[in-house]
Amino acid sequence: MLAERTGGVIINADSAQIYRDLDVLSARPSAPALARAEHRLYGVRDGAEPCSAAEWASFAREEITQAHTAGRLPIVVGGTGLYLRTLLDGIAPIPPIDPTIRAEIRTAPIEINRAALEALDSRGASRLRPNDTARISRALEVIRSTGRPISAWQSERRGGIGRSVALKPLILLPPREWLYGRCDARFAGMLDGCASHEVAALLQRQLDPHLPVMHAIGVREIAAMLRGDASRDQTLAAGALATRRYAKRQYTWFAHQPPAGWPRFVDVLDDDGIGAALALLDPSD
C-alpha cells in the first residue's frame, strides 16, 4: 500500500463512503485496512445531511493542507469523478437557488422539466440524457433562479487546487468482465452480511427519499425485499444489475473524462474498484 510505504494519509473521494449510514453498502475500508494507514473522510457525515461536491472539496482541501503541514503525503482515492474534478478544477460560483423554485422543480415530472429546460436552454438540454432527472432539474433550477444557463456559470470555476499541487494520478480501469464478476460477488456478499440491517435502520429513520443516502446502490433493492415486494433471489439479481450498471458508467467516465496523459492501470486489481488515486505532492517541499 502506497500510504504504508510513504507514511501517507488516504483521503476518501467516494460520495457514498462519506456517509456513516453506509458502512456495508458503500464497501468502506475494512478494519484491517484502516489499521494499515490513516484514513480520512470515511463515514463522517450523517445520511440526513447531503454532502455536495463543493462541501466535500472544502473538507478535502483542509485534509490535504493538514497532511502537507505535517510533512505527509495526501492520497485522494475514490470513484466519484465529480468530487475529484471539483477538487482539482474548482466549482462554478452559482448563487443559492430560490427555495420556491427548487421545490417546484424537484416535485415536477421529468417530462415537464425537460420541456421547460429545452425552451430556456436548448443547447444545455441537448447535452443531457432525456432521463437524467438530477441534472435536468439542476440545470432548470439554475437558469430559472439566476437567469443564466448552468454552462455560463461553469465557465467561471473557482477554488480548484490542480495548479497548486504536484499531482501524481493513476486511473484504475480493470478488465470489464473481471469487474462485472466482482460486482456480482460484491453485492451477494453484502446481502449475506449486514446490508439488510443497514437498510432497515435507514428506513426506520424515515428520511427524505430524495436524499443521496437513500439512492445508494442496494438501498432501493433491499428495501423492496424488506417490504415483502421482492424475494431474496430477485433482490440479489436487481442489486447485482444496479452495481454493474453503475460500474459501467464509472468506467466510461474515468476512461474518457480525465486528461489523456493520466496513466491508466488496466490489469486485474487486488481489490474491487474503478476510480482514481491522486498523490498530491506539496510543491513547496
Number of domains in the chain: 2
Alpha-carbon gap, residue 83 to 120, rounded angstroms: 28
Residue 26's Cα: distance from chain center in Å? 10
Cα–Cα distance measured from residue 83 to residue 91, given in angstroms and rounded to the nearest whole number: 10
- Backbone phi, psi, residue 197, to 5°: -65, -35
CB 38 within 8 A of CB 199: no
**Are residues 192 and 51 part of one domain?**
yes
Task: List Cα–Cα distances, 232 to 220, 223, 228, 235, 236, in angstroms.
Answer: 13, 11, 10, 5, 6
Same domain, 211 and 127: no
Same domain, 78 and 181: yes
pLDDT for the residue numbered 103: 92
Output helix, strand, coil percentages for the chain, rounded to the nearest 5.
50, 10, 35
Are the CB atoms for 112 and 180 separated by under 8 Å? Answer: no
Calculate the alpha carbon distances from 111 to 101, 103, 143 in Å: 17, 16, 17
Domain co-membership, 272 together with 179:
yes
Whether residues 79 and 195 share a domain: the answer is yes
Q: In a structure prediction context, what are the per-residue pLDDT tens digits for the chain, which is 285 residues long?
A: 789 999 999 999 999 999 999 999 999 999 999 999 999 999 999 999 999 898 999 999 999 999 999 999 999 999 899 999 999 999 888 999 999 999 999 899 999 999 999 999 999 999 998 988 888 999 999 999 999 999 999 888 888 999 899 999 999 999 999 999 999 999 999 999 899 999 999 999 999 998 999 999 999 999 999 999 999 999 999 999 999 999 999 999 999 999 999 999 988 766 656 778 788 776 655
DSSP, collapsed to helix, strand or coil, labels residue 277 as: strand
**Residue 134 has what pLDDT?**
85
Picking from 156, 176, 200, the residue at the C-terminal end of a domain is: 156
Asked if residue 172 and residue 249 are part of one domain, the reply reads yes
Task: Tell me which of 110, 135, 156 is where a domain ends.
Answer: 156
What pLDDT score does 276 carry? 81
Q: What is the CATH number of the domain that holds 147?
A: 1.10.20.140
What nine digits make up the cell of 92? Answer: 462554478
29/66 same-domain check: yes
Domain that holds residue 152: 99-156
- Please check whether residues 200 and 236 belong to one and the same domain: yes
- Based on the domain organization, do 177 and 252 belong to the same domain? yes
Residue positions counted in the chain: 285
Is 186 found in the same domain as 265?
yes
CA–CA distances in Å: residue 159 to residues 15, 66, 87, 252, 282: 19, 17, 8, 26, 17
